[in-house]
Amino acid sequence: MNKSAANQTKAKTGFKFHSIQTKLTLSIILILIPVIALLSFVSFRNAQTLLKNRISEGLETAITSRQDRINQIILTSLEHARLISSSDQGQDLLLVKDATQSSEKLETLLFLYPEFEEALVFNDQGRIRASTFKDPAFEVESLIKAAGSHQKPQVFESRGHYYVSVNFPEISQASASALLRINQDKLAAVLRDYGGLGLSGEVILGKRQGDQVVYLNSLRHRPNAQEQLKLTVSQNPRLPLVLAVQKLSGTTIAQDYRGEEVIASYRHLPATDWGLVVKMDAQEAYAPIQRLRTELIQVSLLILILFLLVAFAVSRSITEPLHRLQLGTEKIGKGEWDLDLDIHTGDEVEQLANEFTKMAKELQQLYQGLEQKVKERTVELRSAKEDIEKEKKKAETILASIGDGVIVTGREGKIIFFNRAAEDFSGYSQDEVLGKNFYEILKVCREKNKPLGRDSTLTHKALNQAKAERNDDRFFTHKDGRLYPVSQVATPLIIEGEVIGAIVAFRDITREKEIDRMKTEFISVASHQLRTPLSAIKWFTEMLITGDAGKINSEQKKFLQQIYGSNERMIELVNSLLNVSRIEQGRISIDPQPTDLGELVDQVLVELKPKVEKKKLRVAVSKNEKLPKVNIDPKLIRQVYANLLSNAVKYTEEGGEINVFISRKDDEIISQIEDSGYGIPKEQQKQIFSKFFRADNILKVSAEGSGLGLYIVKSVVESSGGRIWFESEEGKGATFWFTLPVEGTPPRKGQQTLEDPKL
Amino acid sequence: MDNPKQILVIEDEASLLEAIQTKLKKEGFKTVVARDGNKAIDYLNQSAQLPDLIWLDYYLPKLNGLQILEIIKAKESLKDIPIIVVSNTAGQEKVDAMMALGVDNYFVKAEKRLDEVVKEVKRLLK
């Protein structure tokens, strides 16, 4: 966050640390600096050399011209001196004995030669013949001495003046010499000609005097100091003037009388054995070089700065539009669609900017379109939501109004809904139970003090096995701790193949159970109450018949037997009523055990034996050898056989036939009981299994029979998982079949088994 | 008959009692009658001579057959006396409960002849 803010502020100030500008600028500088440095250096060196050469040349030219001019002056002086000496006037001069007159002639002669200012003529003894020198202090003798004696005219210097000494040609054995003082103007002019030598340049003439070199002219920078500044040859072997007087010539750099570094050209003037030096302060001479260096540096810097500025400008021209582009994106981020990017660089960036602006416009449209859609959708959703709310309210109202308790749990069994009826039954309020596990709240039990394992509860089975189940035998625990019996049905809630919860509808069946219990009690009591007098009659009658109360006659016995028989029928009726009532209440228990059906049939037939023999009936049983034992309740199925066989015996005339077949077909055991008896009339066959039904044709024959037998048989067979049917033709007999599943009957908990019928 | 066996008959129905007593006497047994559970228990506790067999009904006033059976079977001195239940009760669970406590046999009055029951008594007392 801080970094970008820093970058932002830097952007505003025009400098970014990591930016195109910096990169460009740095690259340019890094390239330019060595290049410019190299260029400058090379140019400078070249210029320097050139300049130095030029200066040297200049100096040499300067010295050469001055040398020439001085030589010219010397030569001219020599020439003119010769002329004077060989001229007539000169000759005349010598002939005149009078010094004054000869001096006048000398002066006149000198007018012809303005380059000579003064003159002196003297003879070989040293006697002065003529002189123009007016100054008495002037030491002629030393001058004559300085002149020396030469054959040829000589130029020389003495005490600041320059003279030509010339010999007159010999006339009349008189030899004379003349000394002519040269007008220094011309020489001075040459010596003062600083042209081309700048402010520091000067021309120096010097002559050797023993071991010393003496300056002949005034030093520019130390006028009148020649005397102090004369040089010692041995001590200054390298000085140009010293070198010059040693007949050497050249150009060199040395230190002059001021201690300044100078560049000097030096020549030897053979005519006079003088040294000529033309010098210039090195500083002044090389000043151009300095200037050049300075200028080069300045220019380099200027170029650098210029390039920097250019780099800056160029990179800016790139980054500025980019920066604007970036601002544009920020604008879009804030939801401003109108990008006024103002980029007209005419290059790819401008193209990009244009595309970007276009994109922003399209986004805007899209966005607005979306906004519109969202608005519309929101309206739709709101109305849908209201509808849903309404439905929800409806559903809630319905649920709340259901008379049965309804509990809805999530996948883990946590209660997510608990209706009003559930609250009433359980004593808990919805708030108390929401989010809690159903098992914790309901505390399901089988009976008092027999809590049911969670895995056995209907709800658990619904949740984990996706099984829907109904059960009436469990108890829930009320909030106050008491158990109450419930009838419940639990169903899994499945969405897309996955169990997401369960819904349990339950009812407090205390009242029903109470009623049930009362019914059972009633039946028990009723059966007991009915049976008690019947038992009494039975036993007393029995004792009478067996003679325990005394001997009885045969008629008495007959009557008593009748009483006994009727009583037995009533007992049987009571039993059948009890069975029927139990069947109707679903209270029959099924207790399957591996049973040999054949054995059951045999047992029943044993009991029926007396009746069979009495009616002389032929009974045959045939069964498959490989008949497996079947898991059925032997007590119940025995009663089935008992009923069917007893009917067969009852409703077949004397001498008739009864056949029993037991066989296996696929996954069923089929028992077939056929008789050759009265049969069942067609129009009554529908009712044969109904309660209390006795067909008309046998009613006439036998008053016995409650009509409940087949009803009971059908109930038992069907409860055992089998089917029962028959075929019959009146007068021809009847055949009954019933099946039992090979896999047997599942056990069923019930309160009762059937009463044994009276066979 | 010397030393006739004594049978304690616990039954409240008068008519039945008469039939039972008549038959048992005829067969040479001595009978003691208790017409409700409390009387039966008192007799068993106080009598010097214990019965050789107990003939027990189910539906009785004060204590029912199951309760009496529990008391008898809980007592060391009484629990080994042969005991048959002769009742008209049809309730399977009641039957099971009594059988579970250890009765020697169970008869439904209305379905058994008196002499059949007596036969069983004789068998048990052999």
Are the C-beta atoms of A455 and A408 separated by less than 8 Å? no
B15 close to A (CB below 8 A): yes
DSSP 8-state secondary structure symbol assigned to residue B114: H
Are the C-beta atoms of A257 and A183 separated by less than 8 Å? no
Residues of A within an 8 Å Cβ radius of B: 520, 523-525, 527-528, 531-536, 538-540, 542-543, 546, 548-549, 571, 574-575, 578, 589, 751-753, 755-756, 758
Read off the pLDDT band of B78 (50, 70, 90).
confident
How many interchain CB pairs under 8 A, A with B? 73
Helix H or strand E segment including A733: strand A733-741
Q: What is the pLDDT of residues A713-759, one digit of tens each?
A: 998 898 888 899 999 998 889 999 999 998 888 887 766 667 665 55
Q: What is the pLDDT of residue B63?
A: 87
Read off the pLDDT band of A382 (50, 70, 90).
very high
Place of tokens 């001196």: A81
Distance from CA of A583 to the nearest CA of B (A): 14
| Nearest-CB residue to B114 (from A534, A539, A574) | A539
Helix (H, G, I), strand (E, B) or coil at A626: coil
From A514, A494, A501, select the one nearest A406 (Cα to Cα).
Answer: A501
Average pLDDT over residues A337-364: 82
Pick the residue from chain A with its C-alpha nearest to B12.
A532
% pLDDT > 70, chain A: 95
Average pLDDT over residues A301-315: 82
pLDDT at A561 over 90: yes
B31 close to A (CB below 8 A): no
Q: What is the pLDDT of residues B17-36, one digit of tens each?
A: 999 999 999 999 999 999 98
Q: What is the pLDDT of residue B3?
A: 75
DSSP 8-state secondary structure symbol assigned to residue A272: T
DSSP 8-state secondary structure symbol assigned to residue A685: G
Encode A118-186 in three state secondary structure: EEEEEECCCCEEEECCCCCCCCHHHHHHHHCCCCCCEEEEECCEEEEEEECCCECCECEEEEEEECHHH
pLDDT at A11 over 70: no
| Nearest-CB residue to B110 (from A524, A531, A752) | A531
User: A88-98: b or e for each residue (b if 16 or more CB lie within 10 Å)?
Assistant: eebeebbebee
Helix (H, G, I), strand (E, B) or coil at A536: helix
B77 close to A (CB below 8 A): no
Q: What is the pLDDT of residues A148-191, one digit of tens each?
A: 777 788 888 888 888 888 888 776 666 788 888 888 888 888 88
Pairwise CB contact (< 8 Å): B59 & A546: no
Name the residue with higher pLDDT: A11 or A730: A730
Average pLDDT over residues A421-429: 92
Pick the residue from chain B with its C-alpha nearest to A536.
B16
| Nearest-CB residue to B15 (from A531, A536, A751) | A536
Amino acid at A255: Q
Q: What is the pLDDT of residues A41-93, one digit of tens each?
A: 888 888 888 888 888 888 888 888 988 988 888 888 888 888 888 888 777 77
Q: What is the pLDDT of residue A558?
A: 93
Mean pLDDT, chain A, as a whole number?
84
Residue A671 has which token pair?
């028992």
Q: What is the pLDDT of residue A648?
A: 92
| Nearest-CB residue to A524 (from B13, B91, B115) | B91
* A574 chain-B contacts, CB cut-off 8 A: 110
| Nearest-CB residue to A535 (from B88, B91, B115) | B88
Helix (H, G, I), strand (E, B) or coil at A419: coil
Average pLDDT over residues A697-708: 72
Q: At CB < 8 A and 24+ separation, what contacts does B22-28 make?
A: B22/A543, B22/A548, B22/A549, B23/A539, B23/A543, B23/A548, B23/B114, B23/B115, B23/B118, B24/B118, B24/B121, B26/A548, B27/B118, B27/B121, B27/B122, B28/B1, B28/B4
Are the C-beta atoms of A318 and A20 separated by less than 8 Å? yes
Q: How far is CA A532 from CA A571, A753, A759, B59, in A?
A: 10, 20, 21, 11
